């Protein structure tokens, strides 16, 4: 199987053939196929028609064509193969483990669980292997188009599109996963090894009794030593994969910060999550004009402060080129053990790349 750098598998051809019934009322072909093909959306059907993959009575059809009784319609679409959870022998940094839970220090660059474009090399693949599984699990998906449009789909509880939300929340696709970290965020995660206690841990996250603290290097100097950032989050109107602060609607989000160390053009922060929204820290900091260093999705992938200082600007750009991720690390994690009820708290050192980054920024004070 050919794999790209994002782990997209080769698609498989699916062929649908329909004989229009005698009593069928004339209808636009895109509307007809949307009704006839399971899980199809009008956007997907139009995409197939535009590509010339819909043929009526041997001739390529246009979306405006109206079907007639007796028409023979052939529609060919390319779909990803069924999802498989494949145990993989990937090293894990295990901070704690018993027969119920394990706490791991996830490296930056590792996706937490398989998705449409990341089917292998995830934390789930590694955990399955660690727990002794060797056979692949075949997962049936309701939606298998990684380029789904938002058209006609409702939003899930956490702001994700409903089909995507169901997929990500499925116990099948994310066995043991209680919470997520972004692919390029390093740090501590708890994984449930026992299905009976998974819900207990999940409820702690939902009830916000879990302790989570992060370290982040942000652009600019935060003026206050301590503060709260409060702003509702919703999906970005420009890019559905991103989020933004909104005045109306969205989900309530609250982030607490403490300044750890100030530099001329950057600040090292300790952040505590009081809610657990997707991209919360990244969006809140960017909203305050202090985007995370190295976070191109939220504006931190360029030299935002100190650009007038040519020495700093050159050095900072070199650091950005070499770092290649947002400077965010999940440093502290605390929760009640789901079986014993005992409070457990874990701490981790900054990931080596982020530790080196902070040291380099510290050294740049001399030229600022």
For the stretch 221-255, pLDDT in tens is: 999 999 999 999 999 988 988 999 999 999 999 99
pLDDT at res. 279: 97
pLDDT tens for residues 177-227?
999 999 999 999 999 998 889 999 999 999 999 999 999 999 999 999 999
Q: What percent of the chain has pLDDT over 70?
A: 86
Topology annotation, domain 82-207: Pseudouridine synthase (3.30.2350)
Give the pLDDT confidence score for residue 308 in this predicted structure.
Answer: 93
- Residues marked active site are found at 182
Q: What is the pLDDT of residues 307-354, one digit of tens each?
A: 999 999 999 999 999 999 999 999 999 999 999 999 999 999 999 999
Q: Are 243 and 298 in contact (CB under 8 A)?
A: no
Q: Which residue has the higher pLDDT, 171 or 137?
A: 137
- CATH topology for 12-79 is 3.10.290
Residues found in the chain = 368
| CA-to-CA dists, residue 178 to 250, 298, 317, angstroms | 23, 26, 37
How large is the average pLDDT for residues 273-288?
Answer: 96
Bridge partner list, 79: 12
Q: What share of the chain has pLDDT > 90, as a percent?
A: 69
> What own/partner pairs with CB < 8 Å and gap ≥ 24 does 224-230 have?
224/259, 225/258, 225/259, 226/256, 226/257, 226/258, 226/259, 227/256, 227/257, 228/254, 228/255, 228/256, 228/257, 229/254, 229/255, 229/256, 229/257, 229/284, 229/285, 229/287, 229/288, 230/254, 230/255
Lowest-pLDDT range of 38-47, 69-78, 348-357: 38-47
- Over 60: is that where the pLDDT of 161 sits? no
pLDDT at 149: 32
Average pLDDT over residues 109-114: 89
Structure tokens at 207: 């009830």
How far apart CA 307 and CA 316 sit, in angstroms, is 9
How far is C-alpha 264 from the chain's CA centre? 32
The predicted structure's pLDDT at residue 3: 41
CATH of domain 209-368: 3.30.2350.10
Is the pTM value of this prediction over 0.85? no
Cα gap 252→233, rounded to integer Å: 7
pLDDT of residue 194: 87
Q: Are 82-207 and 209-368 equal in CATH topology?
A: yes
Q: pLDDT at position 367, please?
A: 67
Pick the range with the lowest mean pLDDT from 1-15, 38-52, 195-209, 261-275.
1-15
Q: What is the pLDDT of residue 368?
A: 61
**What mean pLDDT, rounded, does the chain reach?**
86
Asked if 330 and 346 touch (Cβ cutoff 8 Å), the reply is: no
- Strand-pairing partners, residue 328, are 216
pLDDT above 70: residue 165: no
Provide the pLDDT for residue 5: 44
Structure tokens at 164: 């995507």
State the pLDDT at residue 170. Answer: 53
List the chain domain ranges: 12-79, 82-207, 209-368
Give the residue, 96 or 38, on which the prediction is more confident: 96
For helices 352-363 and 310-323, what crossing angle results, to 10°?
180
């Amino acid at each position: 199987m050919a794999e790209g750098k994002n782990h997209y598998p080769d698609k498989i051809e699916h062929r649908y053939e329909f004989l229009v019934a005698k009593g069928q009322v004339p209808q636009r072909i895109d509307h007809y196929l949307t009704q006839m093909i399971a899980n199809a959306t009008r956007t997907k059907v139009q995409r197939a028609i535009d590509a010339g993959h819909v043929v009526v009575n041997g001739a390529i059809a246009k979306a405006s064509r109206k079907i007639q009784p007796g028409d023979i319609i052939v529609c060919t679409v390319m779909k990803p193969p069924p999802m498989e959870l494949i145990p993989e022998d990937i090293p894990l940094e295990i901070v704690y483990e018993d027969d119920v839970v394990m706490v791991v220090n996830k490296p930056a660059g590792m996706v937490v669980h398989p998705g449409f474009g990341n089917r292998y090399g995830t934390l789930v693949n590694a955990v399955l292997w660690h727990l002794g599984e060797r056979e692949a699990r075949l997962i049936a998906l309701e939606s298998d188009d990684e380029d789904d449009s938002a058209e006609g789909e409702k939003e899930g509880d956490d702001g994700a599109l409903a089909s995507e939300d169901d997929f990500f929340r499925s116990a099948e696709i994310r066995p043991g996963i209680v919470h997520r970290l972004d692919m390029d965020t390093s740090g501590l995660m708890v994984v449930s090894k026992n299905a009976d206690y998974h819900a207990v841990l999940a409820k702690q996250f939902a009830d916000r009794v879990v302790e989570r603290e992060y370290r982040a290097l942000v652009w600019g100097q935060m003026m206050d030593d301590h503060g709260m950032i409060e702003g509702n989050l919703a999906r970005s109107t420009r890019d559905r994969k991103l989020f933004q602060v909104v005045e109306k609607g969205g989900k309530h989000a609250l982030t607490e910060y403490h300044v750890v160390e100030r530099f001329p053009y950057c600040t090292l922060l300790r952040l505590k999550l009081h809610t657990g929204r997707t991209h919360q820290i990244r969006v809140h900091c960017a909203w305050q004009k202090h985007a995370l260093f190295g976070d191109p999705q939220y504006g931190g992938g360029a030299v935002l402060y100190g650009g007038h200082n040519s020495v700093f600007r050159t050095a900072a750009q070199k650091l950005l080129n070499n770092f290649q991720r947002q400077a965010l690390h999940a440093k502290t994690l605390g929760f009640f053990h789901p079986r014993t009820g005992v409070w457990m708290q874990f701490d981790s050192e900054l990931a080596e790349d982020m530790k080196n980054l902070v040291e380099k920024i510290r050294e740049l004070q001399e030229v600022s």
